[in-house]
A and B are shown apart, each in its own frame.
Chain A
């Protein structure tokens, strides 16, 4: 299994081939469409992150010391970015997640999507992922 850093590097490389904005967005839309929707049981108020622009649902589970994320959004481009984030951070230990950064988002030109003023739920989703990792790490340090 690839490390978080390796996964990020792979995404950065993929995006390097996408020259203009429309290509990037088309790719994200494709990823968004491919990401399986969250089951109704997980698409609940408790997993909902409300934003002014779009809504995001995040479901977390833990297996053999690793955290697994499933997420969804009502907006497709947001969902595409979710797909990247879930791919990068899912399946790793809390310590690995806490130890990583999110520099790839900036490298692929999507930094604005995680700005606090964008209110699309993505930044809150990342904060929640880190919060889960932090709590899990405190309960059961690696």
Chain B
């Protein structure tokens, strides 16, 4: 496949075996056009942005601004002012939990999270509740791994006690089930509840249109989207970003600073970008977004669907294998699945399986996948996960299944 050749990291051997990289849910490999930008800027085009009039600064500022325009375009935000650059999904959520909490939350307010969240979309809200006296409530996951919108209505429909925020993942990093965001957000908005969407996995596998979805906030990382580590995005509707107090103070986020008259802040997005931004990383993120934009997303979605169907079919043939998150039509909604397969297999521990697969060249994950509440809900302390990206092949899927069967023979 042509796409594959653009990722130099895929062309390597580990323990003498060709690398089969199936940990894309954790981080993705980078295409050459991203690596070239990073190399070019680290090696020469390096001048701090927004501050100076000299050539290098102007060049870097231009790259940084171009990345913002690319991201705006990519998720169809109304304005570049709605795109805040951060260090990643976790940083975006911490920023949001702090600034939203300080601005809007009073003691006794309710915040809703789902049971399917990554720790990054749980812990910042718990910390926010501790700071503000708000209460955290949980929207539970069904046996299928799907979220039933009717349960959400039950949580929201308490006259006079509408929650202040719903934090929900677009696609769980464990289940791979695509939540019906438009329906979820429609329901939440009916009760005047704003919605923050964790898009760490969603942005990679789905065409995201924040306006069509009507998300109030949508956050994601660069490194899972074929971009550099240490980069991320917080999309927020302009009215919220205007009202919200900043998280961190420092250079670049101010309008005027005075030791006697106090400080005024820059308008968003700069209000939320204190200090020297990771401008080289963000330029790399811009390149990654341009890379993904240049792909045929329909063809990729069709290809990923094929991998998903084939993987479920092969894995279900393995005795005692349970896959978490099965696509289907439930609760009046269609639940698709991205090629992320978390499973438990009777008689074999995920960590043993992952260790043995590693020595066969396969990078798979085992453990709690930063989603302890979700694993607890399925009575597991560890699962095995194989997560595919657009550059993985059907041959790699076959090799994974075949190796899995061999490894199980050793363990059972």
Q: Which A residues fall within an 8 A CB radius of B?
A: 21-22, 25-26, 29, 52-55, 74-78, 119-120
List B357-405 residues whose CB lies under 8 Å from chain A.
359, 366-368, 381-382
Contact check, B355 vs A77: say whether CB atoms are below 8 A apart. Answer: yes
Beyond A52-B367, A74-B381, A77-B351, whether A26 also contacts B410 by CB under 8 A is: yes
- Closest residue of B by beta carbon distance from A50: B381
A126 to B126, CA, bound (A): 33
Bound together, the chains give a CA A119 to CA B354 distance in angstroms of 14
**How far, in whole Å, are A98 and B136 apart by their CA atoms in the complex?**
46
Q: Which residues of A contact B382 (CB under 8 A)?
A: 52-54, 74-75
A-contact 0/1 string along B187-200, CB 8 Å cutoff: 00000000000000
Q: A22-B359, A25-B356, A74-B381 are in contact. Are A52 and B368 (CB under 8 A)?
A: yes
Closest chain B CB from A118 CB (angstroms) = 9
Q: List 24 A-B contacts (CB under 8 A).
A: A21-B15, A21-B359, A22-B356, A25-B355, A25-B359, A29-B352, A29-B410, A29-B411, A52-B367, A52-B368, A52-B382, A53-B351, A53-B382, A54-B382, A74-B382, A75-B349, A75-B351, A75-B352, A76-B348, A76-B352, A76-B411, A77-B351, A77-B355, A119-B367
Q: CB-CB < 8 A to B356: which residues of A?
A: 22, 25, 77
Residues in chain A near residue B381, CB distance under 8 A: 55, 74
B residues touching A (Cβ–Cβ < 8 Å)?
A: 15, 348-349, 351-352, 355-356, 359, 366-368, 381-382, 410-411
* A21 to B356 CA separation, bound complex (whole angstroms): 9
Contacts of B411 in A (CB 8 A): 29, 76
Kindly state the separation between the CA atoms of A52 and B381 in the bound complex, as whole angstroms.
Answer: 8
Known: A29-B410, A29-B411. A74 touches B368 (CB 8 A): no
User: With a CB–CB cut-off of 8 A, which chain A residues contact B348?
Assistant: 76
A54 to B354, CA, bound (A): 12
Interface centre among B352, B359, B367 (most CB of A within 10 A): B352
CB distance from B122 to the nearest CB of A (A): 16
Give A80 to B359 CA distance when docked, in angstroms. Answer: 17
- Complex Cα gap A22–B367 (Å): 21
